[in-house]
Amino acid sequence: MRVLLNVSKEKLAMFSRAAAPTEFAPLAEGAAGDAAVALRGTGFAADLDTAVGLGVPVVVVAGMPDGEGEACARAALEYGVPGECVLLLRNGKVVDLAGNAVAPAARGGRAVGVRAVVAAAAAAVERGLLPEPVVWEMPSPMESAPPGGVTADPVGPEPGLDDPYPAADAREAAEKPADGETPRREEPAPAAAPKVDAAVKPGIPSLEGELALKDFLTAAHRVVAVFRAVEEADSATVAAGLAEACGAVHLEVAPEPRAFRRYGESLEEAVNSGRYAFCNGGNVQTARRDPDLLVVEVDPNVPERSSLDDVYGRADKVAHVVGHDFNGVEKSKRNVRLWLENGWRLDALIVDRVPDASHVVEIFKGTFGTEVGLICGVEGKESFDLLVEKLVEEEN
């Protein structure tokens, strides 16, 4: 394998000796089995452009996850370089954009060594990870349809919109007890709500235990809402893990059921387990009418936009699950900013499938650390202990 790199002849020779049998060669014509490298620095933009034009896998050495490193990674993704091929320094390791370790860092954790570059290049060649620029991309659902039906506006809420959740506020005011009165919780009506018409919603069976969404939310003692911030974010894993950790029911509010396979072979089996419920904007399909704890996973693409209001208005805590690769991070940052600028509550940002020590978590902390109380990653069952403490056990 050859690694093509724009450095002096002396350095190419030195790198070749250190990485033998891998050969380091000038950043020129590429051939099958080669990989090109663009290094952070003054010539980065030109080197990246040249590397992408060679028709071989490209590795980008972005270095530290600071402003310049983020700019290098962003440019790489715009050229279509996969996140697995973008290298950063983090906690004494060289990692890719998802936080996966590539190799130990050199010089006491302060440098990206030849072995890390060769390892990334070899993996890219083996897997055929060629740059692929995107010509069109679906808009994120959080951009196109925020709760309340308010059009996303990067400079704030729509003119004349004093409160994005008047219905929720009105309900809270109506439920607030008078002075001297003991607060009480509304109980759902004993009669079953009308069933969802299977002809209108194909592929979703009509189950006996259906209940209006508002009634189901009201029946719960505590509700944690988990919104998926971008399409790439794995909200199902986060919601299911949190529900398991605190013994809650996992309610999926989405156009079609997807998370049910964690609880059964079919939607009906999952619902009958008592640990999962589903709502596509109509009624809730559930085997439990009065859950004590409810973790609501929300897909903003749900057809009935009023259901987003219902969940947000009832939630004791609100969290966003954000993307962990660089493209997902950028879109997540934009969508979270829109959410906050519209004045909506946000108690936690959860980065899926990365450890809490990941550089991706640090990026979100650096951007939203003064505005969002909890920002963390989740990887493994023990990761959910903090979420249970902050979102389930902690009072508002």
- Domain co-membership, 214 together with 320: yes
Residue-level pLDDT at 185: 44
Q: Which domain holds residue 145?
A: 141-154+189-393
Residue-level pLDDT at 65: 80
Distance CA 388, CA 271 (A): 23
- Domain co-membership, 148 together with 98: no
Q: pLDDT tens digits for the chain (396 residues)?
A: 999 999 999 999 999 999 999 999 999 989 999 999 999 998 999 999 999 999 999 999 999 888 888 889 888 988 999 989 999 998 889 998 877 899 999 998 889 999 999 999 999 999 999 999 877 765 544 555 455 443 333 333 333 333 333 333 443 444 445 555 544 444 444 333 333 333 333 344 444 457 899 999 999 999 999 999 998 899 999 999 999 999 999 999 999 999 999 999 999 999 999 999 999 988 999 998 889 999 999 999 888 888 999 999 999 999 999 988 777 888 899 999 999 998 999 999 999 888 887 888 888 998 999 999 999 999 878 889 999 999 999 876
Residue-level pLDDT at 206: 41
- Domain co-membership, 101 together with 147: no
- Domain co-membership, 114 together with 196: no
Whichever domain contains 104, its CATH number is 3.40.50
Distance CA 159, CA 154 (A): 13
- Domain co-membership, 146 together with 122: no
Residue-level pLDDT at 137: 64
Residue-level pLDDT at 266: 94
- Domain co-membership, 227 together with 271: yes
Residue-level pLDDT at 377: 92
Domain count along the chain: 2
pTM for the whole structure = 0.56
Residue-level pLDDT at 139: 53
Residue-level pLDDT at 362: 86
- Domain co-membership, 256 together with 357: yes
